[in-house]
């Protein structure tokens, strides 16, 4: 077990000597291409590997023992494990987008207009087009935004609608059911008071609500509480998922397809999946790293989007562990950067 290294010492626990690394990379590249287990001879024919198949074989035995490769069955080639992909990704020199794709991205961001929601949704489609993987775009919640305006509107005597505009350009509505018939003048007055109370605050800000028992005060209290109640569930993040049909293209087993779609259906879960990966400081989660068993054969690539240096969402790509990491990561990165720049107060505002 404890063999002494001669030239390139496997310095610590997670480093392979140059030859093993080259072999591992060859295996990953080949397997991503063909979806088949790869054998020693095809590795040996790789330009970066200058030894014979026999040597490759003995190295592969070592790589398997160390958990980077696995063998589906005795007389088959090797397949990368999650750990193998992890090593591959960690030692990947970041790629660049093909020029056609770069052009496509440029063109896209030069031409998008409209509401943030539309831009984000279209961005997700763009990502899917670029990579052929399912994409996710998460828009930030308005927890950092301040209130620009609130307005109470009478739907009928018992039902009011609270419309709040935030500084990030998002608009939310909340309906209020009153226990008493509300007069128009009261709504107008409550609206006025709410504006005075809330403009400039965030959802976190504690505000002093009137404690009187009259109709207007009750309306104001109800409005504030319904607005601030939004907190716990979700911060109003928006999720846009593009190309879920790619799931059926990219995974083989129907069972896998079902499980992955089942995850994608739950938007809150997708948000926290992306968030968790970012929180761990990762840009890729492979297999079990995603934290969700149904995604054990998936890899998720994420890239944060910021506005004025603050986190403001993320873009993501979901594919099989056997995915084209270099290209996909490049795409995610470029798009997230462009998106960041697009909202850097530059010109357009959603």
Could you give phi then psi for residue 306, rounded to 5 degrees?
-125, 155
Distance CA 65, CA 74 (A): 14
Q: Which is nearer to its own copies, 174 or 228 (CB)?
A: 174
Kindly report the length of the chain: 350
Burial of residue 247 (number of CB atoms within 10 Å: 0-12, 13-18, 19+): buried
Indicate the residue among 192 and 326 with the shorter CB distance to its own copies: 192
Q: Which of residues 98-127 bind its own copies (CB under 8 A)?
A: 114-115
Residue of 11, 75, 93, 208 interacting with DNA (CB under 7 A): 75
Distance of closest approach, residue 87 Cβ to DNA, in angstroms: 18
Q: Which is nearer to its own copies, 149 or 306 (CB)?
A: 149
Judged by CB under 7 A, the residue of 11, 12, 74, 211 near DNA is 74
Neighbouring-strand partners of residue 101: none
Q: Does 77 bind DNA (CB under 7 A)?
A: yes
- Rounded to whole angstroms, the Cα distance separating 317 from 328 reads 7
SS3 at position 163: strand
Residue 254 in the binding site for its own copies (CB under 8 A): yes
What residues form DSSP beta bridges with 316? 136, 302
Residue 53 contact among its own copies, DNA, none, beta carbon within 5 to 8 Å by kind? DNA
Smallest separation (angstroms) from DNA to the CB of 257: 19
SS3 content of the chain, % helix, strand, coil (to 5): 45, 20, 35
Q: Token digits for 243?
A: 């190309």
Q: Between residues 4 and 113, which has the closer beta carbon with respect to DNA?
A: 4
CA distance linking residue 155 with residue 220, whole number of Å = 16
List, in sequence order, every residue forming a beta bridge with 150; answer none if it has no partner.
164
In the window 143-182, what residues touch its own copies (CB under 8 A)? 148-149, 151, 153-156, 158-159, 161, 163, 165, 167, 169, 171, 173-175, 177
* Strand segments (E) across the chain: 69-70, 79-80, 134-139, 147-156, 159-166, 171-177, 238-242, 284-286, 298-307, 310-320
Q: Which stretch binds DNA (CB under 7 A): 56-64, 162-170, 219-227, 304-312?
A: 56-64
Cβ distance to its own copies smaller for residue 51 or 261: 261
Residue 287, interface with DNA (CB under 7 A)? no
Give me 245's structure tokens. Answer: 């049909």
Give the separation between CA 314 and CA 282, rounded to whole angstroms. Answer: 13
9 interface partner picked from DNA, its own copies, none, CB below 5 to 8 A per type: none
Choose from its own copies, DNA, none: what does 77 bind? Cβ within 5-8 Å by kind.
DNA
What does residue 174 show for φ and ψ, rounded to 5 degrees? Answer: -140, 135
Residues found near its own copies in the complex (CB under 8 A): 114-115, 148-149, 151, 153-156, 158-159, 161, 163, 165, 167, 169, 171, 173-175, 177, 242-245, 247-249, 252, 254, 257-259, 261-262, 264-265, 348-350
Residues found near DNA in the complex (CB under 7 A): 6, 36-42, 50-55, 57-58, 60-61, 64, 71-78
């Amino acid at each position: 077990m404890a063999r002494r290294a001669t030239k390139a010492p496997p310095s610590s626990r997670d480093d392979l000597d140059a030859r093993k690394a080259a072999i591992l990379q060859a295996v990953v590249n080949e397997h991503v291409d063909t979806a088949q287990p790869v054998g020693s001879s095809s590795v040996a024919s790789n330009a970066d590997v200058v030894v014979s198949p026999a040597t490759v074989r003995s190295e592969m035995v070592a790589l398997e023992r160390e958990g980077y490769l696995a063998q589906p069955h005795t007389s088959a080639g090797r397949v990368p494990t999650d750990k193998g992909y992890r090593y591959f990704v960690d030692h990947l020199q970041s790629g660049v987008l093909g020029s056609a794709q770069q052009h496509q991205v440029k063109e896209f961001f030069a031409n998008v207009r409209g509401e943030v929601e539309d831009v984000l949704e279209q961005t997700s489609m763009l990502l899917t087009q670029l990579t052929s993987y399912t994409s996710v775009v998460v828009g930030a919640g308005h927890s950092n935004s301040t209130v620009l305006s609130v307005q109470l509107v009478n739907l009928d005597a018992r039902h009011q609608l609270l419309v709040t505009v935030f500084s990030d350009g998002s608009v939310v509505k909340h309906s209020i059911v009153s226990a008493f018939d509300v007069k128009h003048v009261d709504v107008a007055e409550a609206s006025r008071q709410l504006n005075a109370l809330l403009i400039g605050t965030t959802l976190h800000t504690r505000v002093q609500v009137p404690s009187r028992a009259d109709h207007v005060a009750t309306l104001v209290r109800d409005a504030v509480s319904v607005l601030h109640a939004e907190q716990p569930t979700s911060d109003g993040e928006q999720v846009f998922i593009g190309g879920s049909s790619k799931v059926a293209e990219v995974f083989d087993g129907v069972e896998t397809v079902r499980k992955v779609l089942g995850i994608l259906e739950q938007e809150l879960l997708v948000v926290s999946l992306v968030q968790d990966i970012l929180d761990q400081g990762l840009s890729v989660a492979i297999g079990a790293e995603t934290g969700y068993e149904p995604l054990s054969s998936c890899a998720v690539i994420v890239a944060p989007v910021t506005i004025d240096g603050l986190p403001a969402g993320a873009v993501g790509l979901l594919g099989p562990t056997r995915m084209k990491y270099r290209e996909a990561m490049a795409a995610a990165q470029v798009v997230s950067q462009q998106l960041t720049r697009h909202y850097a107060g530059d010109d357009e505002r959603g």
